[in-house]
Structure 1
């Protein structure tokens, strides 16, 4: 089967051919004809199967006829993350270059001004994250009663991120007579309930078991000591033929620290996580795409929004907390029929997480030995450690000049305990008031208490 057999227009087929594709993937072959027939769709497909094109291509042909009106988008695509929204926008630009369709991207992290201007002109395709869409709707900058085609992408990820109430509210503001396409890698009960509520007689398409990993990806587990993760990772990056790699961490702080460490060791690495603004994220992804950096350290913000060909390895530096995230993480490699390798570091605390992952994907993952870290360089043998004690000419040990001999204190003149106990009180009474500390003055390191003497020290202890 070819794309020409799916009923797409000649202009669209030309754009697809120029993009280097001639044979549709299973999800595309099953979804595109049904979408063109204006049917509701539930698509269950793992990441990397060409799911995005399965709704982008027919939408372009459907929207080719008609005219957009100000503030009233004709179609709406909801994405859980900025990266996924940007990826879908790139697909529309690539495949729709021979169609005169207008598009707007509503995502957080960027100024609203340009987005509002685009909406005022009218758009055929609106690609949005739920948060920014609800924000602009609340400001009266957008109306949804003219939207006749809705796509809910990565619905299970929407659930994880807490967007389901927003999606339900958005759906309630759309026309009742509309076409709805819902795509998800898994189908938990909450998503099934959402589909039953807002889809009308949908056609279900499932091209792989829910939450299964691509057979093109070789999956391996690596037992590591939690204190030696970084050394093991660096050794594996050097030992493996890593042309392009994504390293996933659970925390943003771990992403930052690991990236700095890799750069200090000479690796060409970059980072992407939730604290980075949108412009910097896009710039970092472009550096990764063009090969300026070949290692990208990322949090789960990139697990579903990163579509880059040629990623040879995925390293789960931290085992994912949610089993579903494992499937999406390793799906960054082995895309478009290519092969890839995914390593997951396993510490003693990760046993339960790994069991949940293997239950979800229905496959047992084999353990392998990680590459051994390079041994630390030994000091030259001719440089013996210098002893502080030196021998004089007579063979007697004498201390260096830096450590003068300490004389034993003469305790014969010590005064009675009662008299000694009174000293702090007299010193406190006679001491002048301490000047107010100037914040600009550096008092040096804290070497102990130097404030006023507490009152309890004024009293001695008697038997």
Structure 2
């Protein structure tokens, strides 16, 4: 397995560019994918967010671009403006550092479509990166030509499916040559994606890089029971304890994000909000401010969990548990990246006990925490009552009655009495078991005579 990028057979200029932008060692997904795409094969890649998959497809496909007529050779789709913009910026940075002069255009909703059409009439780009809706608009209006495209990358395919954009990707791909090389990247491969894969991919390499654990081991998960507490007030306190470098707070709806943002601002915190209700230009401006560390706190819907990569997040707070627990993994995945440690705090109500249990079932290990005198301290496991009830059920009914009666009287020393009664009961049971075992052995010896 290659131990650096020089062993893949990439263009020398790209290797120079990689050194310039500080890339030294390929990640596991890059080790697995780069040789496959360089060999001209189709690929279906399951890999978690933040694994380095963007450069896993950029490097081999940029290496294989050829100078020919002025038509697009590479198309990359992403389901959100933020993801598309992120990929575009990565591609531009790599090309600039490599001194490679391929015209690269970004096409996303919220940008000036008429101006894009006007530019396309003068010149077609070599590389197209954008959202399915805008790319399809430009293709359908005969402004963007994709009939000579050689490479198609569908990034975050499961999110593309969930957001209802797969039909648009289908319509784009149908305009491309039959000999198209296609690479599909996704955190998961849902069954509903299979018909599309069978339609456009030819004997694809199946590459699955499952994370070692469902949650990054660099992230510590804290669980806070809210009970009757004011959740917004609790969040305000948690955000100001320890002064996180950058904190992301997740809520399920745009309205909740708006309300929580207003509350935190009233508490004097400089807070940014990100959700689908913001105008594209406004969302882009806020994202730029967050990246420039003009905000220390960001409140967002799940759009940010899957669609935005904000560097430097040291704390994630789940103000609400997501309705789809898969989003929990994506939320928490915003911190603990690039070898850094992170903390994820989850608030839950008693009615959400089953959701917490489901997360534990898939491997999330929670540490129960609470606030005491302005400090975060470890508290009792929330299962202790269940465990206590289970212990009681093993006791004799008469002993259970004794426990209830002693508690009811509430006299000094009742805990000691209960403890002694339980101890006596266990001792009595052991004697009964020993007598039964002795009798059984005696009968066995008698039968053998």
TM-score normalised over the length of structure 1 = 0.75
Q: Counterpart in 2 of 1:134?
A: 136
> 1:211 touches 1:324 (CA, 8 Å); kept in 2?
no
CA-to-aligned-CA distance 1:138-193 (integer Å, 9 cap, x gap): 32322321111100110111121112222222222221111000000012211234
> 1:144 touches 1:174 (CA, 8 Å); kept in 2?
yes
> 2:148 touches 2:176 (CA, 8 Å); kept in 1?
yes
Matches within 5 A, 1:123-272: 123-209=125-211, 212-225=214-227, 228-272=230-274
CA distance in 1, matches of 2:339, 2:34: 20
Moved >6 Å (runs of 4+): none
CA-to-aligned-CA distance 1:315-353 (integer Å, 9 cap, x gap): 111111112212211111122222211122212343344
> 1:236 touches 1:370 (CA, 8 Å); kept in 2?
no
Q: Counterpart in 1 of 2:79?
A: 80
Q: Counterpart in 2 of 1:108?
A: 109
> 2:221 touches 2:367 (CA, 8 Å); kept in 1?
no
Shift of 1:372: 5.0
CA distance in 2, matches of 1:211, 1:300: 21
Aligned length: 370
Unaligned 5+ segments in structure 1 are 376-463
RMSD (Å) for aligned C-alpha atoms: 2.1
Matches within 5 A, 1:372-451: none
Q: Which moved more, 1:99-108 or 1:260-269?
A: 260-269
CA-to-aligned-CA distance 1:204-238 (integer Å, 9 cap, x gap): 22222599332222223222137621111111112
Q: Which moved more, 1:40-49 or 1:165-174?
A: 165-174
Q: Counterpart in 1 of 2:334?
A: 332
CA-to-aligned-CA distance 1:338-382 (integer Å, 9 cap, x gap): 2211122212343344344444xx20432422335869xxxxxxx
CA distance in 2, matches of 1:55, 1:19: 17
> 2:215 touches 2:364 (CA, 8 Å); kept in 1?
no
> 1:104 touches 1:119 (CA, 8 Å); kept in 2?
no
Shift of 1:90: 0.6
CA-to-aligned-CA distance 1:373-418 (integer Å, 9 cap, x gap): 869xxxxxxxxxxxxxxxxxxxxxxxxxxxxxxxxxxxxxxxxxxx
Q: Which moved more, 1:192-201 or 1:281-290?
A: 192-201
Mapped pair 1:371 → 2:371: yes
Q: Counterpart in 2 of 1:397?
A: none
Q: Counterpart in 2 of 1:298?
A: 300
CA-to-aligned-CA distance 1:281-312 (integer Å, 9 cap, x gap): 12211211111111111112211232232211
1:141–1:372 Cα change, 3 Å:
farther
CA distance in 2, matches of 1:193, 1:211: 29
CA-to-aligned-CA distance 1:18-73 (integer Å, 9 cap, x gap): 2122011100111112111111111111111111111112222112x22353xx42
Q: Counterpart in 1 of 2:413?
A: none
TM-score normalised over the length of structure 2 = 0.78
CA distance in 1, matches of 2:152, 2:158: 16
Shift of 1:273: 1.0
> 1:73 touches 1:119 (CA, 8 Å); kept in 2?
no
1:68–1:255 Cα change, 3 Å:
farther
SS of residue paired to 1:220: strand
Q: Counterpart in 1 of 2:391?
A: none
CA distance in 1, matches of 2:271, 2:142: 43
Unaligned 5+ segments in structure 2 are 376-449
SS of residue paired to 1:337: coil
> 2:360 touches 2:366 (CA, 8 Å); kept in 1?
no
SS of residue paired to 1:205: strand
CA-to-aligned-CA distance 1:89-133 (integer Å, 9 cap, x gap): 010111111100111111112221332234331111111211222
1:145–1:257 Cα change, 3 Å:
same
CA distance in 1, matches of 2:110, 2:118: 17
SS of residue paired to 1:182: strand
> 1:79 touches 1:154 (CA, 8 Å); kept in 2?
yes
Greater C-alpha Rg: 1
Q: Counterpart in 1 of 2:11?
A: 9
CA distance in 2, matches of 1:107, 1:49: 24
CA distance in 2, matches of 1:181, 1:242: 38
SS of residue paired to 1:225: coil
CA distance in 2, matches of 1:209, 1:374: 36
CA distance in 2, matches of 1:155, 1:311: 25
